[in-house]
């Protein structure tokens, strides 16, 4: 099998491509977007582990963009290098491999920070053959898994990365059915405020329910546009980042 890659989507302010590369998937789409200029430590990353596994993640390193730049770059490099090492062998149990992958990222973040630096993260391994995601939610905003009119929250399965050298994580597996999708957003999205009222997870759920599941780039852009419409100053408060995995129905 041959793999083709395209550069990550531009941010919505048109400041150029992100550092992430989006792998082409069989029967599915991945897309990520940062709205406006980064002010914090949000980033998303993708890496193909083998011919049927693609690893993706949305991470939020604590601190402002300037002070955590080196930590973010170290985590990006570890993500790209260790995803194929930990998950490249098809015979390896995905849950065990995802836990090993988390430990590699954890060590990288602590090493670059020269100590403790909190990093909330949602990390997933998408299996193209099975249409499943084995995931770790390390103290991150819940992932939203949708099919038809049903949405399930994929809550925390462990502590944030970067805190303890020997953290442990659970890595459950969920199915992403054809016609369904997974939406991840940063903390800045749900905490975006207007007159002390937060956007919140419920508004995000309702917007996701009303959105077409046919195009991943359009979905993440619409999700972030809705937040900015609700709270126009949101991009000054925190990073606004979204990532989506869709399995569109082609009927």
Quote the pLDDT of residue 187.
Answer: 93
According to DSSP, residue 28 is labeled B
Task: Quote the pTM value.
Answer: 0.90
- pLDDT (tens digit per residue) in 174-230: 999 999 999 999 999 999 999 889 999 999 999 999 999 999 999 999 999 999 999
Residue 164 to residue 110: CA distance in whole angstroms: 8
| CA distances to 57, 199, 240 from 227, in Å | 21, 7, 9
Residue 153 to residue 90: CA distance in whole angstroms: 28
Quote the pLDDT of residue 14.
Answer: 36
Residue 65 to residue 39: CA distance in whole angstroms: 5
Strands (DSSP E) found in 52-112: 53-61
- pLDDT (tens digit per residue) in 29-86: 999 999 877 788 899 999 999 999 999 999 999 988 888 999 999 999 999 999 999 9
Give me the residue spans of the domains in the chain: 5-247
* Contact predicate 244/30, CB 8 Å: yes
Q: Which residues of 5-37 are buried (b: 16+ CB within 10 A; e: fewer)?
A: eeebbebbeeeeebebebbebeebbbbbbbbbe
CATH of 5-247, one of 3.60.40.10, 3.30.390.30, 3.80.10.10, 3.30.310.50: 3.60.40.10
- pLDDT (tens digit per residue) in 134-181: 999 999 999 999 998 899 999 999 999 999 988 888 999 999 999 999
- pLDDT band at residue 21 under the 50/70/90 scheme: low
In sign, the C-alpha dihedral spanning 30, 17, 60, 81 is positive
**Residue 16 tokens, joined:** 């150029």
- pLDDT (tens digit per residue) in 87-137: 999 999 999 999 999 999 999 999 999 999 999 999 999 999 999 999 999
Quote the pLDDT of residue 251.
Answer: 60
Residue 110 to residue 91: CA distance in whole angstroms: 30
Residue 173 to residue 136: CA distance in whole angstroms: 9
């Amino acid at each position: 099998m041959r793999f083709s890659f395209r550069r990550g989507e531009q941010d919505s302010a048109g400041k150029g491509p992100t550092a992430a590369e989006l792998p082409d998937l069989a029967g599915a789409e991945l897309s990520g977007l940062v709205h406006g200029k980064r002010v914090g430590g949000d980033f998303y990353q993708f890496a193909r582990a083998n011919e049927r596994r693609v690893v993706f993640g949305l991470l939020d390193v604590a601190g402002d963009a300037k002070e955590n730049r080196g930590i973010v770059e170290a985590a990006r490099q570890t993500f790209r290098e260790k995803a194929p090492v930990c998950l490249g062998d098809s015979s390896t149990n995905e849950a065990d491999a995802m836990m090993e992958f988390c430990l590699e990222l954890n060590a990288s973040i602590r090493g670059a920070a020269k100590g403790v630096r909190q990093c909330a993260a949602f990390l997933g391994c998408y299996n193209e053959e099975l249409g499943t995601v084995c995931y770790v939610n390390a103290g991150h905003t819940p992932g939203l898994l949708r099919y038809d009119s049903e949405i399930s929250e994929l809550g925390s399965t462990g502590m944030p990365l970067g805190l303890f050298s020997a953290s442990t994580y659970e890595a459950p597996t969920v199915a992403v059915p054809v016609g369904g999708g997974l939406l991840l957003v940063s903390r800045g999205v749900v905490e975006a405020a207007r007159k002390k009222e937060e956007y919140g997870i419920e508004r995000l759920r309702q917007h996701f329910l009303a959105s077409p599941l046919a195009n991943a780039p359009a979905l993440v852009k619409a999700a972030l546009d809705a937040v900015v419409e609700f709270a126009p100053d949101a991009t000054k408060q925190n990073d606004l980042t979204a990532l989506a995995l869709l399995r569109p129905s082609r009927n």
